[in-house]
Structure 1
Amino acid sequence: MTSNVYDIIIIGGGTAGCVLASRLSEKQELQVLVIEAGDDLTDDPRANHPLMGPRLLTSDANWGFTTTPQKLGGREMIAPAGRLLGGSSAVNGFAFLPNSKASIDAWAELGNPGWEWASFSKSMSRFHLSESTQEEGQSPLQITIPKEETQWPRVWRETLSNLGFPVCSDPFSGKLLGSVIGPETIGSDKKRSFAANAYLDHGTRSRSNLTVWTGTFVEKILTKISETVTATGVQYSNAKTGVTGTVHARKEVILSAGAINTPRLLEASGFGNKKLLNGLGIDVMVDNPHIGENLQNHPMFTVTYEAVDQEGFNTIDDLLRRDPVAIAEAQKAYDNEKAGPASQSNLNVLAQLPIPDTAELRHAIDTCIPSRPGGTVNSLAMAHESFIRSHLTSPSEASGCYMTAPGYICFGGDKSVLPPPPGSEKYFTISAHLGHPLSRGSVHITSALPPKSSKGVSIDPNLFGHPLDLEVLARHVQLAERIAMTKPLSDHLKLDGKRGLGMPEFGEFLDLQKAKDYLLSTAVGAHHWLGSCAMMPREMGGVVGPSLRVYGCPNLRVCDASIMPIAPRSNPQGVIYAIAEHAAQIIMTDM
């Protein structure tokens, strides 16, 4: 590679980066460069076949981060992040759910005009359930809902209905509540649809004004200081040869490296806490102690029950046991009919549910609210607490996001998935994550070396750092077991049979302390990293404003999951895509 000059340099060819590259290069006069650390695997079966996706997580396509020891028995946890063109959209679990209207409006109320639901929903509306056709202005991403091939979805809906929860018919409405069959980023061809093959293929990559570099690490953002700090380009190195070079930006540099790598690159480039940077011998360009703070993640749990072996209630346990006969049958159904368990995530029978508004819950809220994570600015903490209180006491807002699996899904202490126990038993799993955690952590560099591996960074999501998170999620553990005990689901489970690892005896979750103890010993963090370069006023702890410009450097922007000031309720993939579409419109208007 040789030194070049482009109008816009996008650091990171992940979920948001590919969207930006596609949308911004629609403007022919803009020369756009995307730099991605990982390889282009758009033709690799592991990135296309739904059943093969997990293989990428044990390859170089995963950055391979781990967290610091958490308040969960001192457990460190894996923190996967995609390192390939398309980023985590190429290795995730396919779930595509929009954020709730109330959550998005909460972002705007923090001081982000233009990000309220009335505006943001226009970006979200670019996405739709699609078979093969593409309409003007819509996203090229393929989003489908698989056919119901077993009786589990029907039983799940009927069980929740018996408990008084509605069925949500429109997950894109902004008011998702009750049971829902979740959309997946699996196309009509039953291949994974992700940022690289959706936004960069179909002629986009052949545009003369768009250049994509893969296998290239960005080592630092280059800057100059006159009246203000200006981003002039980046220093990069080839991932295989290590040869370094520089490339310059006429107009802007956009960081889309994700909630872990974006603050890493900012700090390595002199943006961050002056005390930290000075201690590592890094020249300070912009002193902002909020960079890398406010990291959020969803804590989650699973409860697993032995299932009754009945016709129409197939499970994926034999696939999870890596049984060769089961794998061959699944592959045959996929090849011949584009059907069966290999054609979908098997994780799309969902619900978003509230917990009962009781006197005990209100007492827990009043008791826990004064506790605040270290590093959180007081004004942000107060706004966040007010938002959480309103959610927890509203029967129309969910606090837990439920996912079911027709099989044994249990996590090891680090969030690695454990295989089912040996044998022929079938299982059914209910999992839930806390929709809006109050806990906030941090991600910071620990070395001045260029951020080219999983080393040299401290990732602390501070799970259950706020005591209210444990109180709320423990009540969802109780609700999950109550669901399992309710007909018709209870008719298809052996409630006194084998249970997931670490689960107490049947009925013991009625004791709230038992539910808390279970979480402290088995809960993990989802792979939903966000918030580390939050979009809000600087005095509240912000790193970027509503135009996504980094405070102190007007031609440097951030566009990825790190800008979310409050965690979205659902899996964040759909929200990240919409953020990138929204940001593209903002940037194009500014240009």
Structure 2
Amino acid sequence: MFHIQSTLYLAISVLLYRCQAKIFTSPDQLTTTTYDFVIVGGGTAGSVLANRLSEVDNITVLVIEAGIDNKDILPVQVPFLGVTLPGTSVDWNFTTTPQTGLNNRVIPYTRGFVLGGSSSVNLLTFNRGSDDVWDRWADLTQDAGWSWDSVQQYYLKSSRLVPPADNHSTLRQVDPTVHGNGPVEVSVPGFPLPIDDIVVSASKQLGGRFAFNEDFNSGNFVGVGFMQSSVGGGERSSAATAYLEPVENRTNLDILINTRATKLVQSGKSGYTPIFQKLEIAQSNTSTPIEVCARKEIILAAGVIGTPQLLLLSGIGPPSAFKNSSIKPLVNSPDVGLNLVDHPLVPNYFSVSSNGTWDDVLRNGSILNATLGEWIGARQGLFVDSPGNTLAFMRLPPNSSALEGISDPAAGPQSSHTELIFVDGFAPFGTVPQPSTGNFITVLTNVVSPTSNGSVTLASDDPFDKPIIDPRILTSDFDIQAMVQAINDAQTFLASSSWQAEFKPVPFGDLATATTDEAKAAFARNNSVTVNHPGGTARMSPYGAPWGVVDSNLRLKMALGVRIVDASVFPVIPECHIQGPVYIIAERAADLIKAAYGLIPGQNTTSPDTCN
């Protein structure tokens, strides 16, 4: 999505791959095929579970990751270079179907194909969601365990605030009292950009819907403020670096990469309820699959795309999915693969009179290499951050026509409808290339409470075929109207005297001629991609409810032996960047699992369960 000169990219993206102890590259290297827990996916949630479950001394855990090791991949480590990772060897390289809401364009769909999953390839923004997000989840699942009061401990357990790379004073940029003591390192930007002070000044000048918010992670996700990112010491802090690497040498934890789970295998029944204790894995569609067995549970943490694909390949899903298929239906679960929701994104470009933007870093190989050298030598400079330092979460005006005749899709008054991210340069997301001259800023406008939803379905019975991904971006009236409001809000914000004093932003390209709401809607359809925040394809619901794929304890409904822990279980998409909520879900899931089996860290636990 974010294009950089190809010769320069080759210079910075060499994969210095090495395999560490206890990370196996082939199933043949495993010394056993029976474990207490088998975790499918070594991504954001899978890494948390591997760490927390292997805390119990004699509980054995196997993590199966389809992708590669995360170590020594420079663009994974360098925060700014996260934008270069889509389309590389650490990306699944998914694409969508032609999107009717985007004039039938096919867009890329980036997901992490590497240990740490999407926490290793995302753009690092760390949000925990408003209090309202979690309280709505508790209402939808009829489980108070998902309320903010209950999950706050897991937010505090998952991350901690650390100083920015340049150690500048963060007074009035963040509130240290609302942060925790967990392994994921979170910081405000460590390289101030020229527009940072202007964003803050404009916020305080305009007030109202643009009021300043000192710390979004205090629970109120409305206003303008500084971005917090999963960065520590100028480097990416991912699930792999925070949770997996510190424990990968535990004798009761095995990590197998370059290997896919291809099918859940029914191992028995309890009455009429199928039991799944076995998992088929393979490294290619021509290799002979082998089976691994979980004495206690198979935990699916394969992500919003991989989890429903694996369920469908295993005969778990709506009966219609298995017509004209060799797959035997085993569990009638109509919601599998449905309710795919994502945040649509439109890049808005503005030419500016200032020459202080970082545009030339992407144009000039000498400047780029010097900037990269500053990061390599001292973990300082532009590359210690993702491209945007400031952002805004906005609620629509109360009289917005987008809200007429519908229930407010946001979780509550502390949740937003749209987001603006301010970038100090031309951020070439989508199809528009960076101009060869000039200085620019970009405002990324996003709809964070979308009502459009789509699906993930099988393309074939071959587990190595990519599934059909149709998020149906911008297919609801609310979404397109909210996006137009976000574009208008961006222009209102940039028209303030704080911006006009020096930068004097002027709409660039097709945005310049989109002077009506109808034209802005057309602009959005021509230029939207997504923020890669998918969720909902195996959503939670109350125990006994006819909808949903898992119950509120994340156990697969109408089956035994399987739990799902990843963003696919979102009952509704949170109005924020989603890695933080996934960490919270995974931390709570670890405690739910430990409670279910009486597991106590530091104590030996008997394992009477057997593999059938």
The TM-score normalised by the length of structure 2 is: 0.85
* RMSD after superposition: 2.1
Looking at structure 1, the residues matched to 402 and 226 of structure 2 have their Cα atoms a distance apart, in angstroms, of 32
8 Å contact 1:304–1:410 — kept in the other structure? Answer: no
CA deviations over 1:194-253 (Å, ceiling 9, x no partner): 111211122x11111111101111111111342211111211113598342111110100
Looking at structure 1, the residues matched to 124 and 217 of structure 2 have their Cα atoms a distance apart, in angstroms, of 16
Paired residue for 2:442? 429
Looking at structure 2, the residues matched to 517 and 552 of structure 1 have their Cα atoms a distance apart, in angstroms, of 45
8 Å contact 1:13–1:35 — kept in the other structure? Answer: yes
Q: Determine whether 1:307 maps to 2:352.
A: yes
> Residue 540 of structure 1: CA displacement?
5.7
Q: In structure 2, the residue corresponding to 1:566 is in which secondary structure? A: coil
Q: Determine whether 1:276 maps to 2:321.
A: yes
Structure 1 residues 178-187 or 332-341, which shifts more?
A: 332-341
Q: Determine whether 1:62 maps to 2:88.
A: no
Q: Determine whether 1:218 maps to 2:218.
A: no
> Residue 561 of structure 1: CA displacement?
0.7
> Residue 397 of structure 1: CA displacement?
4.0
Paired residue for 1:486? 496
8 Å contact 2:267–2:278 — kept in the other structure? Answer: no
* Aligned partner letter, 1:320: L
Q: 2:404 aligns with which of 356, 362, 366?
A: 366
Looking at structure 2, the residues matched to 28 and 337 of structure 1 have their Cα atoms a distance apart, in angstroms, of 39
Paired residue for 1:247? 292
8 Å contact 2:396–2:485 — kept in the other structure? Answer: yes
Q: 1:420 aligns with which of 386, 409, 434?
A: 434
Q: 2:418 aligns with which of 391, 400, 406?
A: 400
8 Å contact 2:48–2:243 — kept in the other structure? Answer: yes
The TM-score normalised by the length of structure 1 is: 0.88
Looking at structure 1, the residues matched to 546 and 191 of structure 2 have their Cα atoms a distance apart, in angstroms, of 46
Q: Determine whether 1:466 maps to 2:479.
A: no
Identity percentage over the alignment?
Answer: 30
8 Å contact 1:408–1:500 — kept in the other structure? Answer: no
* Aligned partner letter, 1:472: A
Looking at structure 2, the residues matched to 225 and 500 of structure 1 have their Cα atoms a distance apart, in angstroms, of 62
Looking at structure 2, the residues matched to 578 and 5 of structure 1 have their Cα atoms a distance apart, in angstroms, of 28
Looking at structure 2, the residues matched to 260 and 240 of structure 1 have their Cα atoms a distance apart, in angstroms, of 19
> Residue 428 of structure 1: CA displacement?
0.8
* Aligned partner letter, 1:17: G
Q: 2:517 aligns with which of 512, 518, 535?
A: 512
Looking at structure 1, the residues matched to 524 and 41 of structure 2 have their Cα atoms a distance apart, in angstroms, of 35
Looking at structure 2, the residues matched to 34 and 6 of structure 1 have their Cα atoms a distance apart, in angstroms, of 10
8 Å contact 1:9–1:233 — kept in the other structure? Answer: no
8 Å contact 1:305–1:428 — kept in the other structure? Answer: yes
Looking at structure 1, the residues matched to 571 and 487 of structure 2 have their Cα atoms a distance apart, in angstroms, of 27
Looking at structure 2, the residues matched to 9 and 460 of structure 1 have their Cα atoms a distance apart, in angstroms, of 29
Looking at structure 2, the residues matched to 57 and 234 of structure 1 have their Cα atoms a distance apart, in angstroms, of 30
Paired residue for 2:309? 264
CA deviations over 1:558-591 (Å, ceiling 9, x no partner): 0001011111111111111111111111111111
Paired residue for 1:378? none
Paired residue for 2:193? 150
8 Å contact 1:300–1:523 — kept in the other structure? Answer: yes
Paired residue for 1:97? 127
Structure 1 residues 465-474 or 75-84, which shifts more?
A: 465-474
Structure 1 residues 271-280 or 162-171, which shifts more?
A: 162-171
8 Å contact 1:475–1:515 — kept in the other structure? Answer: no
Task: Write out the 4+ residue segments of structure 1 that deviate beyond 4 Å after TM superposition.
Answer: none
Q: In structure 2, the residue corresponding to 1:422 is in which secondary structure? A: coil
Paired residue for 2:462? 449
Looking at structure 2, the residues matched to 336 and 42 of structure 1 have their Cα atoms a distance apart, in angstroms, of 18
> Residue 329 of structure 1: CA displacement?
2.4
Q: Determine whether 1:316 maps to 2:358.
A: yes
* Aligned partner letter, 2:380: A
Q: In structure 2, the residue corresponding to 1:480 is in which secondary structure? A: helix
Q: In structure 1, the residue corresponding to 2:136 is in which secondary structure? A: helix
Looking at structure 1, the residues matched to 134 and 389 of structure 2 have their Cα atoms a distance apart, in angstroms, of 23
* Aligned partner letter, 2:194: Q
CA deviations over 1:42-67 (Å, ceiling 9, x no partner): 23223212344344433222111111
8 Å contact 1:142–1:186 — kept in the other structure? Answer: yes
Q: 1:298 aligns with which of 336, 343, 363?
A: 343
Q: Give structure 1 stretches of 5+ with no counterpart.
A: 370-384
Q: In structure 2, the residue corresponding to 1:119 is in which secondary structure? A: helix
Q: 1:543 aligns with which of 535, 546, 549?
A: 549
CA deviations over 1:131-176 (Å, ceiling 9, x no partner): 59xxxx9421121222352331111011122221322222221112
Structure 1 residues 248-257 or 139-148, which shifts more?
A: 139-148
CA deviations over 1:301-343 (Å, ceiling 9, x no partner): 1211112225xxx32211222x112112212332444221112
Paired residue for 1:21? 50
Q: In structure 2, the residue corresponding to 1:549 is in which secondary structure? A: coil
Paired residue for 1:372? none
Paired residue for 1:37? 66
CA deviations over 1:519-554 (Å, ceiling 9, x no partner): 122122221111100011364631011100010113
Would the alpha carbon gap of residues 112 and 242 (structure 1) be closer, same or farther in structure 2, given more than 3 Å must change?
Answer: farther
Would the alpha carbon gap of residues 488 and 386 (structure 1) be closer, same or farther in structure 2, given more than 3 Å must change?
Answer: closer
8 Å contact 1:67–1:77 — kept in the other structure? Answer: yes
8 Å contact 2:222–2:392 — kept in the other structure? Answer: yes
Would the alpha carbon gap of residues 410 and 112 (structure 1) be closer, same or farther in structure 2, given more than 3 Å must change?
Answer: farther
Looking at structure 2, the residues matched to 138 and 88 of structure 1 have their Cα atoms a distance apart, in angstroms, of 22
Paired residue for 1:502? 510
Would the alpha carbon gap of residues 459 and 523 (structure 1) be closer, same or farther in structure 2, given more than 3 Å must change?
Answer: same
Looking at structure 2, the residues matched to 205 and 192 of structure 1 have their Cα atoms a distance apart, in angstroms, of 19
